[in-house]
Amino acid sequence: MAQNVTIDRLLNLVPDSPDSVLQQLQQNPELASKQDAHGYSLLHAATSYAHIELARSLVRDYNIDPNIQDEDSETCLFNAESVEVAKALLELGVDLNSRNDEGQTAAEKLADPDEQPQVAAFLREAAGVPTTEAAASVTAQTNGAADSAAAQAGTVNGTNGVHALPPLPSDVQINLGSMQPEEAGEAPDPEFRRRIEELAARPDFQTEAGQAELRRLVEDVVGGITQEEGQGAGSRRRIG
């Protein structure tokens, strides 16, 4: 009977029967450190389903490395869905600074609005990194691109010695906050830069009509980014 127990079977027991997992491990302790074909471990699963006691037992009783990584080089901390779970993992020795294959820490990945922004804020605070709601909010990428667009327009204005960029429309907001460099998104579209430079060269650039056109350009880039955002990052790994 014990010979039929596999890591896949134990992983399937984690969501609803963490106590059964512990019972099985007493007879098959070697499975505590096993991982499935994707590198998913019992510690990853225990974290994903918020079974803190199971996670503690794996680390303390079975000496599982708290920083065991899956196929994406992610530790269990990347699966934390509550501050309580994240706090427990830190107490077990999980490394805050561990990065996945995309170069993200758990705090950086979980800051995505489709992940766990509250957990990300806690992790940043635990790491001593200043954080604001703006930096971890859904508008982080949009704000970064809008800031870049405004900066481009401001550079053009400065070059020509004219007044600063006019206020953005009332339905467009730029929130300031602490951001990691990678959160700023990609560089602005060269086509957008070309349009700004072309507008700045026009003789009516300083007029009300010229400034209104500049506002429309900024709206275009912000609106385009907002529409392209959408599909969120992954959720907890399916077991089957």
Report which residue type is found at 117: P
For residues 228 and 83, what is the distance between their CA atoms, to the nearest angstrom? 30
For residues 174 and 99, membership in a common domain is answered with no
How far apart (Å, rounded) are the C-alpha atoms in residues 236 and 56? 20
Boundary of a domain, candidates 61, 96, 126: 126
Query: What pLDDT shows up at residue 223?
Result: 61
Domain annotation covers residue 180: yes
Count of domains in the chain? 2
* 18 and 117 fall within a common domain: yes
Q: What is the pLDDT of residues 193-211, one digit of tens each?
A: 777 777 777 777 777 777 7
Measured between alpha carbons, how far is 79 from 63 in angstroms, rounded to an integer?
Answer: 20
Helix, strand, coil percentages (3-state) for the chain, rounded to 5, are 50, 0, 45
Domain of residue 37 covers 7-126
Residues of the chain with pLDDT under 50: 1-2, 131-146, 148-150, 152-153, 155-165, 172, 174, 176-177, 226, 230-235, 238, 240
Q: Does 133 map to a domain?
A: no
pLDDT of residue 187: 53
Give 116-132 pLDDT, tens digit per residue. Answer: 999 999 999 999 875 44
C-alpha distances out from residue 134 to 61, 94, 128, 140, 180, Å: 41, 26, 17, 6, 12
Report the sign of the C-alpha dihedral through residues 26, 30, 32, 36, in that order. negative
207 and 159, same domain (yes or no):
yes
